[in-house]
Amino acid sequence: MQHPTMVEPGTEVRLSDHDPDFREDLKKKSSEVKKRRNAALDRIYELQERLWAEGTRALLIVLQAMDAGGKDGTIRHVMRGLNPQGVCVAGFKQPTPEELAHDFLWRVHQRVPRHGQIGVFNRSHYEDVLVVRVKNLVPEAVWRRRYDQINEFEELLTESGTRLLKLYLHISKDEQKERLQARLDNPDKHWKFSVGDLAERDRWDQYQAAYEEALTRCSTEHAPWHIIPANRKWYRNMVVAELVRDTLEDMAPQFPEPEEDLSGVVIE
């Protein structure tokens, strides 16, 4: 059954059609929210152990959002309690000179989780059709070719045993303002604030257009996008946890059979 957050491949995305405040008529402190969230987290823990033991496939969670969209918070809340051996998180900031000397996917492919792991990309290869486009860092003819290159890359990962779960955390411009202001008002959060964030905020409409095209052109059968209502952090966390659980359930990892018959083993 298709999840309501999924972008159906072949459909055109308009972010204005998606309500970032959506919450299914749930309330933050309701017992149902707590029950659903905890049930999903508990099941993720169980399935991660199976995935790690199986060691033949991986899950890659791709997180994209506008500044202050909640990528760090999502990772912190949904990945908590997992076996750290089986989790890897990679962030992608401005490329280094070494990375720029290669194709744009070179640095990304190196951070794909190994089989048995759950990997999380905090930003990703999609920056090369988002910030690169908005800031005119390469010619349009270059970044336009990247949609097909990204789709082919993700198909390669899928065929090689890596399942992709791509999540766009959708917040409103007003919500972003509140979150940036909260960082500015709290000295303990000043490290998360950059004056450059304001320049990026001025490009809100350009980024929305860039996201819409990326979500439209790169939601595929093998790696669809999901648009997560993310104004309410508690709802975002619950939905993401359920999607991670559902994806692992669909992968159905299994404990491997023992290499030898252990039925007659006696430990003295």
Query: Encoding tokens for residue 185?
Result: 């008002």
Q: Is residue 52 part of a domain?
A: yes
Q: What is the mean pLDDT of residues 153-181?
A: 97
Has residue 266 been placed in a domain? no
Query: Where residue 118 sits, what CATH number does that domain have?
Result: 3.40.50.300
Residue 138 within a domain = yes
Identify whether 71 is part of a domain.
yes
Residue 253 has pLDDT above 90, yes or no: yes
| CA nearest neighbour of 23 among 173, 235, 239 | 235
- Assess whether pLDDT exceeds 90 at residue 250: yes
Assigned domain for 3 exists: no
pLDDT value for 1: 58
Domain containing residue 208: 15-251
Number of domains in the chain: 1
| pTM score | 0.95
Within its chain, how far is the Cα of 233 from the centroid?
Answer: 15
Q: Could you tell me the two tokens for 125? A: 């290869």
**Per the domain annotation, does 65 fall within a domain?**
yes
Residue 256 falls within a domain, yes or no?
Answer: no
Strand partners, 170: 229
Indicate the residue type of 266.
V
Residue 5 lies in a domain: no
pLDDT-derived band at 238, boundaries 50, 70, 90? very high
